Structures are given as structure tokens and as C-alpha cells.
Chain A
Amino acid sequence: MEVLFQTWPWYVSGFLIAAIMLTLNYFGKVFGMSSNLRTLCTIVGAGQCADFFKFEWKTQGWNLLVLLGAMVGGYVAVHFMSDPSNVSLNPQTVEQLAQMGIDAPDGKLLPTALFGNGVFASPKTIAILLIGGVLIGFGSRYAGGCTSGHAIAGMSNLQKQSLKAVIGFFVGGLVMSYFILPLIF
């Protein structure tokens, strides 16, 4: 049991993620999380503003169920399967973060500096989280998929288009991590 509470090794996790994708294929569906964002927009009536949102959202109901299950899974994993040894980073990473004023994990998944409940009182942090979200939502729909749809499902299916998107993900991520994050913090 102990081993379930520690950080799951990459080879186990990677295998299970592919197994999840293949299970959805077996059910006749395709793995992809960001399309749920479009479905949610449709549910709240975005179809009145743009044709992109005019579709029978119930055909995507299965994907919303996957999402709901994932939220419960996240709750269970965080509240009943955590261990103080979790998120043990490279010491060099911890030191770099300290210089940027970002707290070390110490078993936490997210830094308090960005995701503590105090952020609701910080206009700067609110702006960071909102802008990051807009980039994720706009970018994933423009690219037609996110990490699950392109990096996992598309690459597994040897799609050239997904490779372009994944290269884009990494170029964007490196620009943010090396040039923009140091300016923000």
C-alpha cells in the first residue's frame, strides 16, 4: 500500500495514461480533454454568439463524465493518498524557485505563491491565472487539441499535425519558462 502513496514512477504512469486512451478507443471514443471546454461554452449558450458552439452537446456527454470522474479521482488522490515525500524536485529547481520568491513544495502539489487561498486578494496573481487560462483555452482550440489530444492521442496515432502542435507547446513553454516567468516573479 505504501507505494501507492508515494510519487508514482514515470513508467507506470505513462503506461496507465496510454491504457486510459486505448480504453476510450475501445468504447469508440477519442481521448481529448480540451474539447470539454467547448462543450461547456455550448451548454451555457455560446451558440447564440458563434456557430462554432452550435452542436448537439449531448454527443459529448461521455467526455463530461470522464471529466467528472477525474475530479473525484483528484479529490481521492489528494485527500487519501498523499505523502510528505510527494513532489520531491531537483534541489536546483527548488533553489531557483526560492530566488523567484516561490515556496518549495514540501509535499504540496501547487505553490502557495500562485495557488494559495490568499491569491484572491492579489490582483497580480488573479491576472496571471486568468491570462494563463485564456492562453490555454484559446491555444488548445486553435490547435485543435491539448496535451491529451495531441501529445498523447495524436502522437500515438503518428499524426504529423500533432507533432507540429507538440513542438509549438514546447517552444511556447520554453519561452514562458526562460524569458517571461523571470520577468513576472
Chain B
Amino acid sequence: MRAIKYLIVGFVFGIVLTKSEAVSWYRIYEMFQFQSFHMYGIIMVAIATGIVGLQIIKRKQLKTHKGDLIQIADKEKGSFRYWIGGLLFGLGWALVGACPGPIFILIGAGFFPVILVLAGALLGTFLYGLIKDKLPH
């Protein structure tokens, strides 16, 4: 049961991202060309719902399924890493039209050329780990 609940959450996530077409290279291109509201709508509704949900969790001090207080850590302080890391990520996102979740969802759906994107993403993550201490954060 402990494992199954995560598989179910992931399963729903895979279906939602596929059926909303957020995994589609076309939708990402259309978004960056400002030719459709669809992707902006998804992101804005997700954030708005998330803000309301997290405020309720914090104000009512809701607990996890195990009875601990739900706590969400703040992001680490810094600027350079967010601007530059974000910029590099954005270049890749608009080029191959997939962010990390969709990379796996698309491979699962049988789009095998996306394995090349995954290989690149693993390599990029590895490179970051190698030179992390030399980068400004």
C-alpha cells in the first residue's frame, strides 16, 4: 500500500499531463509564440489552486497521513543560480518541448526518440554535479 499510493499519484499525473497536452512539443511552441492561452491557463489555475490549498494547510495546521504537521521547506536563498539555471532550462524546454516529467511520460507512451533527451538530461545533471562547487549560486 505504501508504494501503490505513489504509483497511483504518478499514474494520474501522467494521464493529466498527456490529456492536457502539456507533454506536447507543439503546445510548448504555441505557448512561447503567445498563440494560445491553453498552457498559460493550466499553469495559472494550478498556481491559484495551489496557493489556496497551501494556505488552508498552513492556517488549519493540517497533518500528513502519518499525523505529522505538513511542512514545506523554503527554497534556498540565492539569485544567480535561479536566473541562470532558469535561463538554461528555458532554452532546453523550448527546444525539445518537454520538461523532466513529460520526458518520462513520453518515453512511457512509446516515443522512443525522447530517450535521447533523457540521456542528455542525465548527462546535464551529472555535469552540474561535477562543477557545482565552481559555480556561483
* Chain A residues proximal to chain B, CB less than 8 Å: 4, 7-8, 10-28, 30, 33-34, 36-38, 40-41, 46, 49-50, 52-53, 62-63, 65-79, 81, 86-87, 89-90, 92-93, 96-97, 105, 109-111, 114-117, 119-120, 125-126, 128-148, 150-159, 161-162, 164-178, 180-181
Contacts and interface: CB of A to CB of B under 8 A. Distances in A.
A148 B100 contact: yes
A66 B9 contact: yes
From A73, A78, A158, A171, residue with most partner B Cβ within 10 Å: A73
Contact of A81 (B15, B96, B111, B122): B15
Contact of A135 (B3, B11, B62, B91): B91
The secondary-structure label for the interface of chain B is helix
Interface of B: 3, 5-33, 35-51, 53-54, 57, 62, 64-66, 68, 70, 72-79, 81-101, 103-114, 116-130, 132, 135
Contacts of A40: 122
Given A20-B9, A140-B89, A161-B77, A133 B124 contact: yes
Contacts of A157: 50, 54, 72, 74
A141 B25 contact: no
Nearest to A70: B14
A166 B86 CA distance: 6
A110 B111 contact: yes
Contacts of B123: 130, 133-134, 137
Given A46-B129, A171-B90, A174-B32, A16 B83 contact: no
Contact of B91 (A8, A65, A139): A139
B95 A131 contact: yes
13 contacts: A8-B19, A18-B53, A68-B7, A79-B109, A87-B21, A105-B26, A153-B72, A161-B77, A165-B85, A166-B86, A168-B87, A169-B89, A169-B93
Contacts of B97: 110, 114
Nearest to A132: B96
A30 to B, nearest CB: 6
